[in-house]
Structure 1
């Protein structure tokens, strides 16, 4: 009798263990099946800095607001750390996954993703000139352009200070930067302002390039150049010591020590693209596949202005974005 009870207990334990294993394996299978059924979106970000980080966060926020993330969408992210070769490798890897959308943040990553993709929809952000980047008349591509309003920025700068020469540092290998510098030179010429430019090949060159401009310019314009922005702390360190104000078309950089910025809100631009992606996922048509950023804002750093003895007119204060 004792032997039978002992065998029964062992049998019950074995059955329990067996059922537990079955449940565990079934759970793994279900999780895998659910994961594989999700819509895959890859993100290839050229470099980590405030503007591009905000753009990524905006995309994710929109997809969450539309109840797609994480329920129906899976995201795989890669940062090229400002390296073109890395951007190409990430694009090739992402293309091999055959995602529904290949999101690319900044022109170098967008161009690399365009060359690598197969059937995926390319969705770009932080591209100043989509035509110059080669995105015009291409099928299966959507995006939000961040073309800077340099004219408005210069007008605001003129309200704050007098200057005859403006300096700019840029990477000639980035089409965004080249286009921006050309626009700056044309606009400055109409006001009799001279542009002093310095080209760089890496973020390590930014500090030396800034030092070259000191003594030659009264103001420095910061283009939407990923190499320059990634070394912005070094640039501001030099300009602050020399009391040379810095302006830009990127409000997300204001905390770094700029005097003023007027331009698109990258978080909102990210949400704009995220909603475009969500519309396509839900089967809706996009009226315009390549759009301009809808929200621009003005920000003035009053602390920097005080340090430079620059007076902020009341009418300009009223135009600031909270």
Structure 2
């Protein structure tokens, strides 16, 4: 009997040790992560990118409320707030910073060269001096860009071939956003190749956007909405002006088409946010450092036409577009 009791005690001890080891392993794997989120302004494109980012982390075991906490801070378009946010996140010693926009990434990088930074919605990572090279970023920053190499040429070609009466195209943009300046330069170069002219008006805040759009009426044949955060936050005010005057507005990204622009070549910001999230997963797991992860371009490019917007802007749909575009109502 004593032998049986001793064997039982030994067995229970072994089970206890195994259970303890299992508990220790589980605890180690369930490390708590804090991810700082800096975003220059709230608008659908950036918000969808953040949704995609969180989805990628969740799909890889980093679940909000369980082992991940997001510290989300919005700069409301204020560059001073933007820099303060970067400093605040660094002082909190977050495990990783998700920078959603060019100014957000620049502000984060100004605040730290140690904490990993994964960006998205950045138009020109090289021009913004975020990375040393697209293939080899070389520092603590990498991510996904919101510029597809074929997006602008494809959009301009569509305008030139399908709208022969359009000669002058209006642009409203914030010259304080480096990403916007880069896009304007790219669009102007392509427009010149097609014999088209860009007419530009610069703004500093979203409050100036409607008046800027109105100042272009009578001077241009169409509008082109680049990926500008300031204008995007006030897009509906521009659309109202154009609907009243039957002037078509083209877009450099698809969320603006969904909000009421006529047509655009682009991609879903959710997708580039998701791709940025997958990069963050590799960093958090210790598999790669930002320096080892090449900057990624959007993977899916398509032409989308908004039928309701076409009607509002006096654009007659052509059957030739059926094979070229995806329609939304």
Query: Equivalent residue for 1:312?
Result: 317
Structure 1: which 5+ residue stretches go unaligned? 1-32
Q: Distance in 1 between matches of 2:254 and 2:261?
A: 9
Contact 1:160 1:310 (8 Å CA) reproduced: no
3-state DSSP class of the match of 2:261? coil
2:208 aligned with 1:175: no
Q: Which whole-Å CA distance do the structure 2 matches of 1:125 and 1:246 have between them?
A: 25
Corresponding position of 1:293: 298
Q: Does 1:259 pair with 2:262?
A: yes
Q: Which has the larger radius of gyration?
A: 1
Give yes or no for contact 2:35–2:95 (8 Å, CA) kept in 1: yes
Task: Show the 5 A alignment for 1:18-167.
Answer: 37-70=31-64, 71-137=66-132, 138-148=138-148, 149-162=151-164, 163-167=166-170
Match of 2:189 in 1: 186
Instruction: Report the CA distance between 1:260 and its aligned residue.
Output: 0.5
Distance 1:234 1:247 in 2: 15
State the distance in 2 between where 1:130 and 1:314 align. 39
- Residue 250 of structure 2 aligns to a residue whose secondary structure is strand
**Deviation digits for residues 102-152 of structure 1 (CA, Å, limit 9, x no counterpart):** 111111111010011252101111110000100122412121011152110
Q: Partner of 1:47: helix, strand, or coil?
A: coil
| 3-state SS of 2:80 partner | helix
Residue 19 of structure 1 corresponds to none
Deviations along 1:200-230, one digit per CA (max 9) or x if unpaired, are: 1111111111111101111101111111111
Secondary structure in 1 matching 2:185? helix
Question: How many residue pairs are counted as aligned between the two chains?
Answer: 289
Unmatched tracts of structure 2, length 5 or more: 1-26, 133-137
| Residue in structure 2 matched with residue 220 of structure 1 by the alignment | 223
TM-score (structure 2 length as normaliser): 0.83
Give the SS at the match of 1:290: coil
CA shift, 1:53, in A, is: 0.4
